[in-house]
A = this chain, B = another copy of it.
Amino acid sequence: MARIQSKKNSTKKEIIIEKAARLFREKGFGAASMRDIAETVGVEAASLYNHIQSKSEILQAICFKVANDFIAQLEEVERSNASTLEKMETIIRMHIRMMLEHYEYVYISDHEWRHLPEPYLSNFLNQRRSYRKRLSDVIEEGIHKNEMKNIDPYVAVLTILSAISGIESWHRSRKTTGAETLEENMVKYLIEGLKK
């Protein structure tokens, strides 16, 4: 019960996933090999299998952790009794912060999910679809309550989530624009386009 632990109070499995996430993001799931992962962990490839069952288990862990995180936070917003515009702003900020603070994980969940094996793939896509539906319900309500301009809710959700997912390219850049400027301006842009 002691040896399995490391410096950071995390199990070796968690360490493996963390290191793998970095590589999956940098090179893509397919191009990052188990031997690559093993090297950054400081161990032989075969040894990884004492802690994980397969390469794709790592991907599953990452994708579903992110998905669950988003769903949990969305539920919190849904339960609140803020206006629909406030709700959307909260959600947008939540997404931006997730992208800023958990870049690797969110990026992988956004871009590498197609490598999930069935039935996880279908599962993931269903969760995703239902998540977006719930977001567009908020917008639809906002339109009915005359708090938002009349815009196709599906397109609005698509626009918002895609825009935020593009923060990925900021992360890869030289970051002459600060994180705070990024957040405030993107929120401004996306909320302004929604307002009546």
A-B contact pairs, 10 of them (CB 8 A): A155-B181, A155-B185, A155-B186, A155-B189, A158-B169, A159-B163, A159-B189, A162-B163, A162-B165, A162-B169
Q: Which residue from chain B places its CB closest to the CB of A182 in the assembled complex?
A: B155
How large, as a class, is the contact surface on chain A? 35 or more
Q: Are A154 and B166 in contact (CB under 8 A)?
A: no
* Nearest CB in chain B: distance from A133 CB, A: 11
A65 proximal to B (CB < 8 A): no
Per-residue contact bits, chain A 92-119, to B (CB 8 Å; 1 contact, 0 not): 0000000000000000000100110000
A154:B169 contact, CB within 8 angstroms:
no
Contacts beyond the supplied A163-B166, A189-B193: 14 A-B pairs with Cβ under 8 Å: A28-B28, A28-B115, A31-B115, A151-B188, A151-B189, A152-B182, A155-B185, A158-B182, A159-B166, A159-B189, A162-B162, A162-B165, A163-B163, A190-B193
The answer to the question of A138 belonging to the interface, with a C-beta cut-off of 8 Å to chain B, is no
Q: Which residues of A contact B (CB under 8 A)?
A: 27-28, 30-31, 111, 114-115, 149, 151-152, 154-156, 158-167, 169-170, 176-177, 181-182, 185-186, 188-190, 192-194
Q: Is the CB of B28 within 8 A of A114?
A: yes
